[in-house]
Amino acid sequence: MSRLPPDITRAVTHVKVQVTIDAPLEAVWNAILDFPAYPAWNPFVRSQAITDSNFRPLLAHPKPSEGAHIIMHVRIPPKGLDDNDKGLRSAKDVITFIDEKNRRVVWEAAGFPKWLFRAERWQEVTGVQVDGRTVTKYMTVEVFHGPAAWIIRWFMRKNLVISFEAMANGLKKYTEGGSASP
């Protein structure tokens, strides 16, 4: 089954970022799903782990799958790849969709009444032609719904755009074989 990006026209607000990466499609896809490697390249999501249903980290690092709970520690706006945990915020999500064939993954915010706040993060990698050769396009969209989403729109959207751009550029540098630090 395929799943298309969320409808941004029905959201209170959204963030959308894309970048072209000169690296194999599979390398980019694998980096997105390799949560333990995030600290090496992702200045926005400093750590991300699959957890039990109470959001307690697991000892092993299972492969991401639909229905898996995840916890992220994010820095908004990002400040590089240092190991300092100061200023990190936690986000709890559930993976709702993985399409290995079309290289799409979706997770939704957890822990909020859906009428109050709903956030859906969608990521996709595709092959595109640039100057006669195939490169990878990474695209991510997050949509925010509900009354609490107005807080995101009014106070956080600008820094979320900066954060998503930093993640996309970190992914680009990492998978192209360069340093991911800004």
Question: What's the token pair of residue 33?
Answer: 């799903």
Segment 134-148, tens digit of pLDDT: 999 999 999 999 999
- What's the pTM value of the predicted model, to 2 decimals? 0.93
pLDDT at 149 over 60: yes
- Distance in angstroms (rounded) separating the CA atoms of residues 31 and 174: 9
Neighbours of 65 (CB within 10 A): 10
Segment 17-65, tens digit of pLDDT: 999 999 999 999 999 999 999 999 999 999 999 999 999 989 888 999 9
Q: Side chain identity at 89, as an amino acid letter?
A: R
Computed from CA positions of residues 162, 174, 171, 112, in that sequence, does the dihedral angle turn out positive or negative? negative
Do residues 109 and 124 lie in contact, with contact meaning Cβ atoms separated by under 8 Å? no
Segment 75-107, tens digit of pLDDT: 999 988 876 777 899 999 999 999 999 999 999
Q: Across residues 167-177, what is the average pLDDT? A: 96
State residue 6's pLDDT score: 78
State residue 182's pLDDT score: 43
